[in-house]
Chain A
Amino acid sequence: MLLLAAPMLAGLILASVPIIIHLWNRRHFRLVEWAPMKYIKLTVQTNRRRMRVEQLLLLAVRVLVVALLFIALARPAFSRTGFGAALASRSRASRVILIDDSMSMGYVTDRRSAFDRAKDAAARIVSSIGSQDAVTIALSTRPDQPLVREGGIEESNKVLREMQNASPAEAASDWPSVFKQIDSYVSGASHLQRELILITDLRRSGWGAGVTAQASKWAGQSFDLKIVDVGSRETANTVLSRFEQEDSFALPGMPVKLRASIRNDTNAIVRSATASLEIDGQSRPLVLPDLPAGQTTEVPLTVSFDKAGDHVLKLTLPNDAMPADNTRWLVIGVRPEVRIAMIDGQVGSRAFESSTDFVQLALTAGLDLWQVNRRADSEWQRVSASDAQLTNADVIVLSNVASLSMQQTSVLEKLVSSGAGLMIFPGEQFDPGAYNQNLYRDGAGLLPGRISRANESSPNGLAIDSVTDSPLAPMSKLAPEALSRIRPKKFLSVAIDEKGKDPNSRALAHWNDTESHPAVIEKQFGRGRVILWTVSADRQWSDWPIDPTYVLALRSAASAIVRPGHIGTNFTAGEAIAYPLETGQVVQGPLVTGPDQSMAPQPLSILDQVLHYASTTRAGKYTLSWKDEAGATQSRTLGASFNGLESNLQPISESEITNLLSPIAPTFVHWGAAAGNESVAEKGREIWRNVILGVLVLAAVETVLAMWVSRER
């Protein structure tokens, strides 16, 4: 029930007038000394109870007539949502209307999303508030950009009209940070009475204990919190929880492995559904396997690209109650080639005399796009860190390099840290002590373990360790006999994970000897990976380089540690774009174009050689463009996908929220699916005419009743 002119209710006090008159009449009488009391009593006692009931009935009718008259003047309107009671106007207030536009608000029930209802509710609220109230309207995914700040009703209505065709963002609402931002509006409000009206779907995602501190701060102020629940309690949903590139890099013509994960959170199996895979704007159907209820189904995909550059993939599942989490974007940067820089400590004049000959052969045979730049160790001594061939290398190979200077070590560490892969092969010139000193540094350096000595025992083959994301994973599929043929005459003895100082190091393979010495060791260093082989790259220590398994081992290892694609190419909606520029790269007038094509390109900020942009609440393709030093336009494409947290549709109860927001006690109003679908224009049905009709009927009843009660008896 809503009262459009609630102040008129003050007139209800006049409903007591009939009671006062009744009591006054009872106290004002004419005193008469009477003789025939016996006969008075005789008749009065017979009628007294009936008379009293009749008089009370008449009094009740009179009170009701007056009360209903003022209720009618208060213009009651009937609303199923209970909005009227919740938004009953009081004194002037600064009202902050916070609309949850997180992805879960796109959940559709009865052909209307929670966000649609939220817009209705917001419009309804704005139409209900007083003309002298100050209104701030903000969205939860970008609370720092209020749509209206301390504005009036007209401005608010205009903004809400413009929002009518808007859809929720694909980002999540992090309520603690949202409330922190909202606090700045509340604190800076112009009126003493402040009110936050949060319109949300009451999903658990985003709520946490962090809101309690903010609530405690608000508790001491003249602050009201009203939460308008526009959501439903349904959770049935199919979500594309993952769509990722499995291979670390892509080359033109090279099959690239992708993996999609689909979680079916409905109660029924989904059979023979057809998804849509769009590659660079060209869509193709993709028949999905059966999706069992309550389970996640992995869907492997393989694509290849003809040209180098950024390729945009968009995988879309069939439509369901929440369409936003059915689509994921993936931008794959296809590089034109893989650049390998080899530093050879033993360069020979004839074939296979150099220690890197077998490595080069293994990595480039039949692979045109693997480009090797080989140089002698002595040549590297003269180059600087700005050596383009080295700095642009995706994989760096050190073979039989006796030792590295601190400068060389520093250059390598910087390159590996930025993502380059590093493979180190020992040899006869290899100085373990120098390596330990500069490259191991008690676990702080590039080496994955401390090299102790060259072991000259001959192990009985190689054993591949079963570790996650192993660069040698393809080797594990080989027959044991093939691996048992790998019997080095000599190998480095390496101790890894010394004293637990270096958790990033691990053995990928062990020699099959009594002590099970590590054969291949890996270390994650920054964004790059380092692989230390314990045998030489040539045939000095073993015949493995002429074994077919050597090619497989090197190719799989090199592929795994190739410098990954550009960081930040794919990100989650709501996270800020932070695109790192290359060292010394000059960009002019950087702009970003988002998925919302109606928006003009927005400028990017540059901070510490990183391009920044924060308004990324929409999933889709973001294009960064700028002019380089020569004035040529450069661009990169980034892909943003929805925030998976919002796919968790588990509702949160009012009591939980009340506990989280303690000590303030929010008022809950329901405008959800259960409350019915009310249009924006509907303020509820005004029923004052009905009440007036009731007043007239009661007045007639009062007249008849008064005549009947006061009849001569």
Chain B
Amino acid sequence: MPSYLVPEILARITRLGFRAHRVVEGSISGLHRSPLHGLSAEFADYRQYSPGEDLKRLDWRAYARSDRHVVKRYEEESNLRATLLLDASRSMKYGGSRSKLTKYEFGATLAASLAALCVRQRDAVGLALVDQEQRTWLRPAATQAQLAKILDVLQRSVPDRKTELGAVMNRVADQISSRGMVVIISDLLTDLDSLYAGLGRLQHQGHEILIFQILDPDEIDLPFKDSMLLRDIEGATNSEGKADELQVEPWAFRKAYQAAMNQFVEDVATRCRTAAIDHMLLKTDQDLGFALSSYLHGRLCNAGLKRGGKIGAQNPSAVPMEGA
């Protein structure tokens, strides 16, 4: 049984930590900002006073300066509830000659590393293995036992079904009650429109979404030289009911294919960037520890700069308070 928990990777990312950019709802005080105000001493912003509200929360000084009734809000720090959503469909089974790991193994290693990091910083972490449906669901918890469960699930799982991430995403959204972080680990070779719809719903619920798109370098470069018979890895059939196959000479359209794949990745990245979703492309021949530490480092540096957008809908613009 493979062990997806790699100490070298953990060693590289432990000191960086894994922090949420958005506010998260937690039951205990922690590293992450909480949506609940007033329990912390750190000022957050102003909001319009609503009649009937407790007058003791009215900021009289502000009233004296601006003759406006506003209430002062404070940020609350809480623990993180991260849900790792790992694509365990058959397409993740592919592993090229240049990679030591299949996409699933690579994704599982990533998931294990993130889970371990979360547990180490006492954040709750859960796991959902999905393909065309949700196969495994581990409710987020911040215990060592949870980490062991996650590792166990990852090791036992075999990617052997079709992908339908969009539909699964809605179910996951139903199961996550409080705002937190949803980390999607997938090759995204699925129906993107339904995926984007699912992501939009998660965002609407206030979750911060991270997407790790994992592709094999073969899938990006198409480096083959021989004549090939390509068969759909998920067993799709054509209109005649036969296995969906295609005999090709890769050199004859390699550049066109590479352009199409680059366009695909670029489209996903653009869409995520627009929706303030972190998107990171990982190739399975990459050093995961290095790639993950670079990402976490960058995330740490950019903490607080993120502005929330929403995928699939216009983002509501925040009206800055004059004098805030």
**Contacts from A to B (Cβ < 8 Å):** 25-26, 28-44, 46-47, 51, 710-713
Contact = CB atoms under 8 A, between A and B. Distances in A.
Q: Could you say which of B230, B246, B261 has the most chain A C-beta atoms within 10 Å of its C-beta?
A: B230
Contacts of A41: 246
Contacts of B37: none
Contacts of B93: 33
Nearest to B92: A35
B255 A44 contact: no
A241 B91 CA distance: 104
A713 to B, nearest CB: 5
Contacts of A43: 253, 256-257, 260
Contacts of A33: 93-94, 230-233
B177 interface: no
A51 B249 contact: yes
Interface in B229-286: 229-234, 236, 244, 246-249, 251-257, 260-261, 264
B228 interface: yes
B231 A26 contact: no
Nearest to A42: B260
B261 A39 contact: yes
A34 B233 contact: yes
Complex A-B, nearest 7 residue pairs according to Cβ-Cβ distance, in ascending order: A35-B91, A33-B233, A43-B256, A34-B230, A29-B227, A39-B260, A43-B253
Contacts of B251: 710-713
A308 to B, nearest CB: 106
Contacts of A40: 230, 246, 248, 257
B84 to A, nearest CB: 21
A39 B253 contact: no
B232 A34 contact: yes
B236 A28 contact: no
Contacts, number: 90
B219 interface: yes
B139 to A, nearest CB: 30
A36 B232 CA distance: 8
A32 B224 contact: yes
B94 A34 contact: yes
Interface residues of B, number: 33
Q: Could you say which of B244, B249, B255, B261 has the most chain A C-beta atoms within 10 Å of its C-beta?
A: B249
Contacts of A47: 252-253, 256
A36 B236 contact: no
12 contacts: A26-B227, A26-B247, A29-B229, A29-B247, A30-B228, A32-B228, A32-B231, A42-B260, A51-B249, A51-B252, A710-B252, A713-B253
Given A44-B253, A713-B256, A35 B248 contact: no
Given A33-B94, A37-B236, A37-B244, A712 B228 contact: no
Interface string B52-69: 000000000000000000
B231 A34 contact: yes
B246 A37 contact: yes
Interface string B173-192: 00000000000000101000
Contact of B254 (A36, A37, A712): A712
Nearest to B248: A44
B226 interface: yes
Contacts of B226: 29-30
Contacts of B224: 30, 32
Contact of A35 (B229, B233, B254): B233
Nearest to B264: A39
Interface string B205-235: 0000000000010010000101111111110
Contact of A32 (B230, B234, B249, B260): B230
B258 to A, nearest CB: 9
A191 B233 CA distance: 71
Contacts of B255: 712-713
Given A29-B226, A29-B229, A40-B248, A35 B253 contact: no
B246 A713 contact: no
Contacts of A30: 224, 226-229
A66 to B, nearest CB: 22
Given A29-B247, A44-B246, A47-B253, A37 B227 contact: no
Given A29-B247, A712-B251, A35 B187 contact: yes
A31 B252 contact: no
B261 A36 contact: yes
Interface string B90-126: 0101100000000000000000000000000000000
B260 A37 contact: no
A51 B252 CA distance: 8
A39 B257 contact: yes
B246 to A, nearest CB: 6
A28 B247 CA distance: 10
B96 to A, nearest CB: 9
Contacts of B94: 33-35
Nearest to B91: A35
Contacts of B227: 25-26, 28-30
B229 A713 contact: no
Q: Could you say which of A26, A28, A34, A40 has the most chain B C-beta atoms within 10 Å of its C-beta?
A: A34
Interface string B122-148: 000000000000000000000000000
Given A37-B246, A712-B255, A32 B229 contact: yes
A176 to B, nearest CB: 70
Contacts of B233: 33-35, 37
A712 B254 CA distance: 6
Nearest to A39: B260
Nearest to A54: B252
Contacts of A34: 94, 219, 230-233
Nearest to A51: B252
Nearest to B189: A35
A51 B247 CA distance: 13
B163 to A, nearest CB: 9
Given A42-B260, A47-B253, A712-B254, A31 B189 contact: no
B289 to A, nearest CB: 25
A710 B225 CA distance: 11
A202 to B, nearest CB: 61
A19 B256 CA distance: 28
Contacts of B248: 40, 44
A41 B246 CA distance: 8
A30 B160 CA distance: 22
A183 B187 CA distance: 90
A711 B251 CA distance: 7
A306 B101 CA distance: 133
Contacts of B216: 35
B246 A38 contact: no
A9 to B, nearest CB: 33
A159 to B, nearest CB: 65
Contacts of B246: 37, 40-41, 44
Nearest to A25: B227
B102 to A, nearest CB: 11
A41 B189 CA distance: 14
A30 B250 CA distance: 11
A35 B228 contact: no
Contacts of B91: 35
Contacts of B257: 39-40, 43
B232 A37 contact: yes
A710 B251 CA distance: 7
A37 B261 contact: no
A42 B93 CA distance: 22
A29 B246 CA distance: 11
Contacts of B229: 29-32
A80 B219 CA distance: 63
Nearest to B256: A43
Nearest to B96: A32
B231 A31 contact: yes
Contacts of B253: 43-44, 46-47, 51, 713
A387 B91 CA distance: 137
Given A32-B229, A46-B256, A712-B251, 15 more contacts: A32-B228, A34-B231, A35-B94, A36-B219, A36-B261, A39-B257, A39-B264, A40-B230, A42-B260, A43-B256, A47-B252, A47-B253, A713-B253, A713-B255, A713-B256
